[in-house]
């Protein structure tokens, strides 16, 4: 009986070890989340192992906790996953914004404000020359049209649009790049976590230029840069105290 137990242990142990040293999952299209993606290249950046997804979007690759796994396919953004456990993964791969997709226009509506007059514009005045009053613009003397006020109104609207756009991106960064989110990815706590988030808060221009922005890849990449810093470089210098008059 004892010999049979040891024999069973010898047979089962390799499978147990193999099961604990690999990760599996399924990859779907980000826009159509029920559509599995085939032939996605899955590469473990930590051990150089490579595989591809099958017809059902499934993959299995040798890996361990702490490895960095990359997913890439033509027409899709390259995504990277930092393994904090070896549980089965579900990956949603966003399409590349440069890839044109067929769009069916069902209906169109014209914004009524386009046809309405500019509330800040002044009435224009036709200035005639050489005594040719009211001549058409196709005449040699012609006429000059002045629409005063529209340029200022347009600049004001553009300034408001930029401020609203900035507020949207800042709100997105604040909502996603939180202490809980970052700590779950890089396992930093306390003062180290606060210093890391201050040093590597996602820049607004970067978030704006890469849509949808991959916060997990950016955070893990920043963490590797953080590990190369000295303890002094990781600390945020405190603001100098102002002397009272």
Q: What is the pLDDT of residues 191-233, one digit of tens each?
A: 999 999 999 999 999 999 988 999 999 999 999 999 999 999 9
Would you place residue 241 in the very low, low, confident or very high pLDDT band (cuts 50, 70, 90)? low
**Rounded percentage of the chain residues whose pLDDT exceeds 70:** 66
Average pLDDT over the chain, rounded to an integer: 79
pLDDT higher than threshold 90 for residue 63: yes
Q: What pLDDT is stored for residue 154 in this prediction? A: 85
Comparison of pLDDT for 145 and 47, the residue scoring more: 47
CB atoms near residue 104 (< 10 Å): 4
d(CA 187, CA 179): 10
**Rounded percentage of the chain residues whose pLDDT exceeds 90:** 50
Average pLDDT over residues 50-60: 94
Please provide residue 126's backbone torsions phi and psi, each rounded to the nearest 5 degrees: -90, 125
3-state secondary structure of 198: helix
Contact 223, 185 (CB under 8 A): yes
Q: What pLDDT is stored for residue 5 in this prediction? A: 52
Would you place residue 235 in the very low, low, confident or very high pLDDT band (cuts 50, 70, 90)? confident
The model's pTM is 0.40
Average pLDDT over residues 3-30: 68
Average pLDDT over residues 22-34: 92
Q: Residues 138-143: contacts with CB within 8 Å, 24+ apart?
A: none
Q: What pLDDT is stored for residue 62 in this prediction? A: 96
Q: What is the pLDDT of residues 96-148, one digit of tens each?
A: 865 555 555 555 555 555 555 656 655 555 554 445 555 555 555 455 555 55
Q: Is the peptide bond before 104 cis (omega within 30 degrees of 0)?
A: no
H-assigned helices in the chain: 2-20, 112-115, 150-176, 179-186, 190-199, 204-209, 215-227, 231-234
Would you place residue 18 in the very low, low, confident or very high pLDDT band (cuts 50, 70, 90)? very low
d(CA 223, CA 189): 13
């Amino acid at each position: 009986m004892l010999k049979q137990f040891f024999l069973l242990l010898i047979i089962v142990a390799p499978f147990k070890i193999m099961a604990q040293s690999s990760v599996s999952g399924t990859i779907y299209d980000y826009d159509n989340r029920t559509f599995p993606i085939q032939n996605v290249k899955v590469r473990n950046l930590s051990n150089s192992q490579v595989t591809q997804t099958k017809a059902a979007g499934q993959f299995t690759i040798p890996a361990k906790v702490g490895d960095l796994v990359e997913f890439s396919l033509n027409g899709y953004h390259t995504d990277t996953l930092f393994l904090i456990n070896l549980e089965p993964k579900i990956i949603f791969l966003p399409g590349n914004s440069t890839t044109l997709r067929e769009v069916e226009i069902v209906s169109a509506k014209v914004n009524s404000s386009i046809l309405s007059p500019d509330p800040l514009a002044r009435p224009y005045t036709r200035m005639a020359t050489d005594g040719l009053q009211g001549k058409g613009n196709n005449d040699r003397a012609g006429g000059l049209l002045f629409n005063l006020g529209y340029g200022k109104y347009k600049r004001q609207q553009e300034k408001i649009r930029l401020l609203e756009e900035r507020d949207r991106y800042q709100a997105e960064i604040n909502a996603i790049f939180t202490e809980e989110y970052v700590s779950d990815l890089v396992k930093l706590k306390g003062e180290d976590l606060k210093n890391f988030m201050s040093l590597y808060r996602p820049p607004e221009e970067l978030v704006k230029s890469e849509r949808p922005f991959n916060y997990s890849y950016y955070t893990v990449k920043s963490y590797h840069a953080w590990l190369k810093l000295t303890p002094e470089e990781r600390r945020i210098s405190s603001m100098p105290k102002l002397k009272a008059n």
